[in-house]
């Protein structure tokens, strides 16, 4: 047994040594790719697939470095998504079903002159990770219900996104990992209640609905639009919002503004900073962005003021 342990240790040490040697002898691009793979725990099943992913990584890296050289208010980096094409990222990680509503312009919006956030106040669960399932709508939905319960009921529940993925159907405008609407998720919770993450754990894929009800209900659902309304809604509780996250994949830090208003992702607005920039909780894990959060430039950046939903 001891000799086997020593042999395994030797093999691990040899593997690490060879990886380091490969990094030292590789081109700068290949070395950067190898470091990124180790950091993100990415691996590929064939040399051909890895070569293709390296080519995609190279294109994305060139874009990231070009954008950072422009000295924007935000910084981009080689995130977990750096080996994906734009089409792959959009199809796997964005899942809000746009209701084809027209863009509402609000010219008289008054930017708040004081900072406000629900962070650190016991009403927001830790950042979660939806994985490669277009279930952002479910995470946005549970986020506002969790906040509602914490503020009004005195306890912060960790609610089940998987129950929504499995149980909220097309009648409520939701298709599980193929996307959905936060308003539909909230209406389903109003009618049936939602259970906890512990009772109905997240799998990140479509499944059969095994628990059709839950103890956590809401009395009513309110949908609003406009930045003035968003400010008022956030003051009441963390608010479910739809955004255009097409260009979010490489966000690392700073105040982001490089986006249109083609709503395709559900997130949770939790506050604003001293300059009135929105503080938003995402569902791509803590390694993305500012520990899972993004700061959006004040106003209707990424369409953040177009569609808001709250539970009461």
pLDDT digit string (tens) for 271-300? 999 999 999 999 999 999 999 999 999 999
Number of domains in the chain: 2
108 confidence band (pLDDT: 50, 70, 90):
confident
Both 41 and 106 in a single domain? no
Q: pLDDT tens for residues 155-192?
A: 999 999 999 999 999 999 999 999 999 999 999 999 99
105 confidence band (pLDDT: 50, 70, 90):
confident
**Quick check: is 208 in a domain?**
yes
pTM exceeding 0.85: yes
Q: What is the 3-state secondary structure (H, E, C) of the chain?
A: CHHHHHHHHHHHHHHHHHHHHHHHHCCHHHHHHHHHHHHHCCCCCCHHHHHHHHHHHHHHHHHHHHHHHCCCCEEECCCCCCCCCHHHHHHHHCCECCCCCCCCCCCCCCCCCCCEECCCCCCCCCCCECCCCCCHHHHHHHHHHHHHHHHHHCCCCCECHHHHHHHCCHHHCCCHHHCECHHHHHHHHHHHCECECCCCCCCCCCCCCCCCCCCECCCCEEEECCHHHHHHHHHHCCEEEEECCCCCCCEEEEEECCCCCCCCEEEEEEEECCCCCEEEECCECCCCCECCEEEECCCCHHHCCCCEEEEC
Both 151 and 25 in a single domain? no
CA–CA separation, 166 vs 212, rounded Å?
9
Decide if pLDDT at 26 tops 70: no
**Quick check: is 79 in a domain?**
no
Catalytic residues: 136, 265, 282
Answer whether 259's CB lies under 8 Å from 247's CB.
yes
Domain holding 12, by residue range, is 2-74
Mean pLDDT of 137-154: 97
Both 66 and 116 in a single domain? no
Both 108 and 40 in a single domain? no
Both 6 and 111 in a single domain? no
Mean pLDDT of 135-157: 97
End residue of a domain, out of 33, 49, 74:
74
| From 99-113, 149-163, 226-240, the region with the lowest mean pLDDT | 99-113
Both 241 and 285 in a single domain? yes
**Quick check: is 207 in a domain?**
yes
Both 57 and 109 in a single domain? no
End residue of a domain, out of 74, 104, 121:
74
Both 122 and 170 in a single domain? yes
Both 191 and 270 in a single domain? yes
Answer whether 179's CB lies under 8 Å from 170's CB.
no
Mean pLDDT, the chain, rounded, equals 92
**Quick check: is 166 in a domain?**
yes
Mean pLDDT of 96-114: 82
**Quick check: is 85 in a domain?**
no
**Rg of the chain over CA atoms, in angstroms?**
21
Both 227 and 282 in a single domain? yes
At 136, which CATH number? 3.90.70.10
Mean pLDDT of 138-165: 97
**Quick check: is 81 in a domain?**
no
**Quick check: is 82 in a domain?**
no
């Amino acid at each position: 047994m001891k000799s086997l342990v020593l042999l395994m240790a030797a093999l691990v040490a040899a593997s690490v040594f060879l990886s380091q040697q490969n990094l030292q002898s590789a081109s700068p691009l290949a070395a950067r790719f190898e470091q990124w793979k180790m950091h993100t725990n990415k691996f590929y099943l064939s040399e051909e697939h890895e070569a293709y992913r390296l080519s995609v990584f190279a294109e994305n890296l060139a874009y990231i470095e070009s954008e950072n050289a422009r000295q924007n208010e935000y910084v981009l980096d080689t995130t977990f998504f750096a080996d994906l094409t734009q089409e792959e990222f959009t199809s796997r990680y964005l899942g809000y079903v746009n209701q084809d509503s027209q863009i509402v312009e609000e010219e008289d919006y008054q930017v708040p002159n004081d900072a406000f956030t629900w962070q650190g106040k016991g009403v927001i669960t830790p950042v979660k990770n939806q994985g490669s399932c277009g279930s952002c709508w479910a995470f946005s939905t549970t986020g506002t219900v969790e906040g509602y319960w914490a503020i009004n009921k005195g306890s912060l529940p960790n609610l089940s996104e998987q129950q929504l993925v499995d149980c909220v159907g097309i009648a409520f405008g939701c298709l599980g990992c193929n996307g959905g609407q936060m308003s539909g998720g909230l209406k389903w919770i109003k009618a049936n209640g939602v259970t906890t993450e512990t009772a109905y754990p997240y799998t990140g894929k479509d499944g059969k609905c095994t628990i059709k009800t839950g103890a956590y209900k809401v009395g009513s659902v309110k949908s609003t639009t406009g930045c003035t309304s968003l400010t008022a809604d956030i003051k009441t509780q963390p608010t479910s919002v739809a955004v255009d996250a097409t260009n979010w994949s490489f966000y690392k830090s700073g105040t982001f503004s490089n986006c249109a208003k083609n709503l395709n992702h559900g997130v949770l607005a939790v506050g604003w900073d001293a300059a009135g920039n929105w503080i938003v909780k995402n569902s791509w894990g803590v390694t993305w962005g500012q520990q899972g959060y993004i700061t959006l430039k004040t106003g209707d950046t990424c369409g953040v003021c177009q569609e808001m939903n709250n539970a009461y």
